[in-house]
Amino acid sequence: DAGITQSPRHKVTETGTPVTLRCHQTENHRYMYWYRQDPGHGLRLIHYSYGVKDTDKGEVSDGYSVSRSKTEDFLLTLESATSSQTSVYFCAISDGTSNSNQPQHFGDGTRLSIL
């Protein structure tokens, strides 16, 4: 299995609080991604990174920010969590010179509940 660690694995928090999820990789892959998975929607891309300090928005980026200060770490922050952000969040990584022609490797997810 690809060396991807997501933390925490589970979190329950209240509306309005800030939340940060961490993705750590040991593969030295260039690309890192954050997705959310919800019933009826499949996986949707939130943000992705193509290098240190290089990030771009995905399909559902509103309400989320990301940072990548080191190759191995990609952080996802909910500045002020809302109940609509209750979801399972997955981090993924991929290698290569393009984000399009390599498979992605996924972590096991963070289950986030916002009450």
Partner 1 sequence: SQQGEEDPQALSIQEGENATMNCSYKTSINNLQWYRQNSGRGLVHLILIRSNEREKHSGRLRVTLDTSKKSSSLLITASRAADTASYFCATVGNTPLVFGKGTRLSVIA
Q: Select the residue interacting with partner 1 from 8, 18, 51, 103 (CB under 8 A).
A: 103
Q: If binding is defined by CB under 8 A, does position 40 make contact with partner 1? A: yes
Rule CB under 8 A: choose which of 8, 17, 18, 41 binds partner 1: 41
CB contact at 8 A, 1 and 103:
no
Query: At 61, which amino acid appears?
Result: S
For the record, the structure tokens of 32 come out as 């890192």
Q: How many CB atoms lie within 10 A of CB 58?
A: 17
C-beta closer to partner 1: residue 4 or 18: 4
- Report residue 36 as tokens: 């959310």
Chain positions 46 to 85 lying near partner 1, rule: CB under 8 A, are 48, 58-59
Buried b (16+ CB within 10 A) or exposed e, 21-31: bebbbeeebbb
Looking at the Cβ atoms of 6 and 85, the one nearer to partner 1 is 6
Number of chain positions touching partner 1 (CB under 8 A): 25
The footprint of partner 1 (CB under 8 A) covers: 4, 31, 33, 35, 40-45, 48, 58-59, 90, 92, 99-101, 103-109
